[in-house]
C-alpha cells in the first residue's frame, strides 16, 4: 500500500478518515513525519496530532497520572510546608526564649526567608527552563533538608536568620517546579482541582504541626542536655523532608516523555493529551522576542500585583496565627495548638471549594472576590469585638473565615498556568509572579509590630485596605482577559471559508498573544 498523503491529513479531520488500515497502523505511518514549526524539543519525537484519545482513554490516562505523579507533588509540597511553617507552632513552645529572640526578631525570621526566595526566583526559573525540572526540585529539597536539620540545633538569632535566608533561596524553585510539572501532565480544565490538591497540603502540614506541637509540648526536659520540645518538632519535620527528597529524586519523571514506566505509545498519548493547553512540554532555547513581549504584557504585571497584595495578608496571618489564638483570644498554649487543627481543616475545605466553584462556573476571578469578602467579614469581627471568655469562641470562628483568602493562592496559580504560554515568557512570568509571592510574604510579618500586640488592630486595618485593593485588581484583570478573548474570537470568525484544525500551533512555542488558538481563563 502506498504511503498516505501526510500533507492532506495534517489539515483533515481525523474522524472522517476511511481507510483499510487500523488506527495503530496510521500512528506508525506518521511516527517519523516532521511537522513544520515544531520548536518543543521535549515533545517533538512524540507528536502525532492525528491520534484519537476518546473519553474513556482520557480518563484512564488521567488515573495513571493521578496515581504516579500527583502523590509526589503533594509529598514535596507537604515537606516544604513543614520546613517553612515550623517556626509558627514552636513560637509558643519556648523557642523564642531559648534563642533569646526579642523585638522584631520573630517577624524578621520570616522576612529574611522570603527575601531569600525573591533573590532565588530568577535563578530558579532559568534552571527550570534549562535543566530537567524534577531534578531541580529534588536538588533544592536536598539542600533545604540539610538546613532543616541545622535549624533544629541552632540557638542564636543570627544563625537562625542566615538559615532562613538560605532556605528561602533554595525554596524559590518549588512553586515554579510544581506549576511547570502540572502544565506538562494536566489539561487546563483539570488544573484548578490539581492545584487545590497539592496546595491543600499546606493546611495538612499545619494540622500535623499542631498535633506534634501539642504532643511535644508535654515532653519535659531538664538542663542535662536533652532535646527540648520544640527541637523534637523541628527534627521530625527534617526527617519528613529527607524521606520526601528521596522519593521525588527516584520516582518523579522530568516530563511525560521521560517517564521510565511508560512505553513509547503511552508517552505519545501523554503529550497529545495536553495539546489543547497550547503550552507545549519544554523548550530550552531563549527567545528575546518573548522576553520583550513579557516586559510589555499588562497581564504579567496584574498577576504580580494580585500575588503581592494577597501574600501581604496571608503571610502575616499564617506567621502570627498561634500568637493570635494564644495571646489575643486568650486560649492556653496546649489549646492554641489544637485549635490550629480546625484552622487547617477550614483551609483545606477552602482550597477544594475554590476548585469546585472554578470548575463548575468557570469564573475564577469572581470566585476570588467572593472569598476575599469572607475574609473582610472575619477581619471586621476581630477588630470590633473585644476578647473575653464570652467572645473568644466567636473570635475563633471569625479567625476561621480568614483562611478563605489563602485559597486565592491556588486560583492565582491556575490563572498563571492557564494564561501564559511560550517557554521563555513562562519562565519570566513564573519568576516575576513568585517573586511577588516571596516579596509579599517577606513584608507581611512586618505589618505586625511588636508594639501592637496582642490584638494587632492596626495590622488588621491594613489588611482591610489590601482586601479592597485586591478586589479592584481582580476586576481589572478579568476585564482585560475578556477583551483579549473577544479579540481572538473576532479574528477566528474572520477566517470563514478556511479549513482550520484547532491546536495545530500547540508545540510551536508561541506565546499566548501569538497563538491564534489560545483562550484565556477568566
State the residue range of the domain holding 129: 53-276
Say whether 124 sits in a helix, a strand or coil. helix
Same domain? For 311 and 269 the reply is: no
pLDDT at residue 475, rounded to an integer: 97
Same domain? For 270 and 295 the reply is: no
> Which is higher by pLDDT, 244 or 316?
244
Same domain? For 410 and 468 the reply is: yes
Of all residues in the chain, what percent carry a pLDDT higher than 90?
34
3-state secondary structure 296-322: HCHHHHHHHHHHHHHHHHHHHHHHCHH
> Considering only 12-21, 77-86, 88-97, 421-430, which range has the smallest mean pLDDT?
12-21
Q: Of 383, 405, 402, which Cα lies nearest the Cα of 328?
A: 383
Same domain? For 251 and 338 the reply is: no
Output the CA–CA distances (angstroms, integers) from residue 501 to 10, 11, 280, 519, in the order listed: 8, 6, 17, 15
Same domain? For 219 and 295 the reply is: no
pLDDT at residue 322, rounded to an integer: 76
As for how many domains the chain has, the answer is 2
Same domain? For 330 and 265 the reply is: no
Run of H or E including 432: helix 423-443
Answering whether pTM is above 0.95, one says no
15 is a domain residue: no
Same domain? For 186 and 313 the reply is: no
Same domain? For 105 and 204 the reply is: yes
45 is a domain residue: no
Same domain? For 112 and 224 the reply is: yes
Q: Of 171, 178, 179, 199, which Cα lies nearest the Cα of 112?
A: 171
Q: Which three cell numbers stand for residue 104?
A: 522584631
86 is a domain residue: yes
Q: Which three cell numbers stand for residue 159?
A: 544563625
Question: Rounded to the nearest 5 degrees, what angle is found at the Cα of 179, between the Cα atoms of 366 and 121?
Answer: 105
Convert the pLDDT of each residue in 448-465 to its tens digit: 888 888 888 999 999 999
End position of a domain, from candidates 276, 300, 329:
276
Same domain? For 318 and 392 the reply is: yes
Same domain? For 448 and 498 the reply is: yes
Same domain? For 309 and 168 the reply is: no
Convert the pLDDT of each residue in 140-186 to its tens digit: 999 989 999 999 999 999 999 999 999 989 988 888 899 889 988 99
Amino acid at each position: 500500500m502506498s504511503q498516505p498523503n501526510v500533507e492532506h491529513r495534517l489539515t483533515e479531520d481525523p474522524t472522517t478518515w476511511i481507510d483499510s488500515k487500523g488506527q495503530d497502523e496510521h500512528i506508525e505511518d506518521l511516527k517519523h513525519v516532521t511537522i513544520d514549526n515544531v520548536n518543543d524539543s521535549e515533545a517533538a519525537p512524540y507528536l502525532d496530532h492525528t491520534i484519537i484519545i476518546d473519553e474513556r482513554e482520557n480518563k484512564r490516562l488521567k488515573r495513571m497520572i493521578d496515581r504516579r505523579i500527583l502523590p509526589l507533588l503533594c509529598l514535596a509540597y507537604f515537606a516544604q510546608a513543614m520546613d517553612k511553617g515550623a517556626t509558627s507552632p514552636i513560637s509558643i513552645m519556648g523557642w523564642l526564649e531559648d534563642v533569646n529572640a526579642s523585638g522584631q526578631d520573630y517577624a524578621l525570621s520570616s522576612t529574611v526567608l522570603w527575601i531569600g526566595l525573591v533573590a532565588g526566583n530568577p535563578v530558579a526559573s532559568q534552571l527550570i527552563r534549562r535543566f530537567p525540572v524534577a531534578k531541580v526540585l529534588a536538588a533544592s529539597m536536598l539542600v533545604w533538608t540539610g538546613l532543616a536539620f541545622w535549624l533544629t540545633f541552632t540557638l542564636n538569632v543570627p544563625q537562625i536568620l542566615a538559615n532562613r535566608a538560605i532556605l528561602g533561596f533554595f525554596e524559590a524553585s518549588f512553586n515554579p517546579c510544581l506549576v511547570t510539572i502540572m502544565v506538562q501532565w494536566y489539561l487546563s480544565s483539570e488544573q484548578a482541582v490539581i492545584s487545590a490538591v497539592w496546595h491543600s497540603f499546606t493546611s495538612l502540614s499545619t494540622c500535623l504541626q499542631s498535633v506534634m506541637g501539642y504532643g511535644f509540648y508535654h515532653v519535659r526536659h531538664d538542663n542535662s542536655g536533652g532535646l527540648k520540645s520544640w527541637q523534637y518538632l523541628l527534627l521530625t519535620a527534617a526527617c519528613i523532608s529527607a524521606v520526601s527528597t528521596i522519593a521525588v529524586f527516584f520516582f518523579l519523571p522530568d516530563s511525560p516523555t521521560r517517564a521510565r514506566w511508560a512505553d513509547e505509545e503511552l508517552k505519545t498519548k501523554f503529550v497529545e493529551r495536553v495539546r489543547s493547553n497550547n503550552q507545549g512540554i519544554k523548550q530550552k532555547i531563549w527567545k528575546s522576542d518573548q522576553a520583550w513581549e513579557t516586559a510589555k504584557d499588562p497581564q504579567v504585571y496584574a498577576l504580580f500585583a494580585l500575588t503581592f497584595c494577597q501574600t501581604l495578608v496571608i503571610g502575616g496571618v499564617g506567621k502570627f496565627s498561634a500568637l493570635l489564638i494564644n495571646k489575643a483570644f486568650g486560649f492556653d498554649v496546649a489549646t492554641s495548638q489544637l485549635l490550629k487543627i480546625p484552622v487547617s481543616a477550614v483551609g483545606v475545605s477552602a482550597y477544594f471549594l475554590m476548585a469546585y466553584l472554578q470548575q463548575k462556573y468557570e469564573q475564577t476571578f469572581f470566585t476570588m472576590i467572593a472569598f476575599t469578602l469572607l475574609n473582610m467579614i472575619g477581619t471586621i469581627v476581630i477588630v470590633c469585638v473585644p476578647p473575653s471568655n464570652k467572645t473568644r469562641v466567636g473570635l475563633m470562628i471569625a479567625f476561621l473565615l480568614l483562611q478563605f483568602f489563602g485559597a486565592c493562592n491556588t486560583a492565582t496559580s491556575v490563572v498563571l498556568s492557564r494564561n501564559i504560554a511560550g517557554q521563555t515568557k513562562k519562565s519570566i512570568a513564573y519568576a516575576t509572579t513568585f517573586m511577588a509571592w516571596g516579596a509579599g510574604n517577606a513584608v507581611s510579618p512586618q505589618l505586625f509590630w511588636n508594639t501592637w500586640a496582642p490584638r494587632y488592630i492596626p495590622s488588621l486595618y491594613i489588611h482591610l485596605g489590601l482586601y479592597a485593593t485586591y478586589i479592584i485588581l481582580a476586576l481589572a484583570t478579568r476585564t482585560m482577559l475578556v477583551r483579549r478573548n473577544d479579540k481572538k474570537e473576532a479574528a477566528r470568525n474572520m477566517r470563514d471559508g478556511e479549513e482550520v484544525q484547532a491546536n495545530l500551533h500547540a508545540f510551536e512555542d508561541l506565546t499566548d498573544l501569538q497563538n491564534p488558538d489560545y483562550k484565556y481563563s477568566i
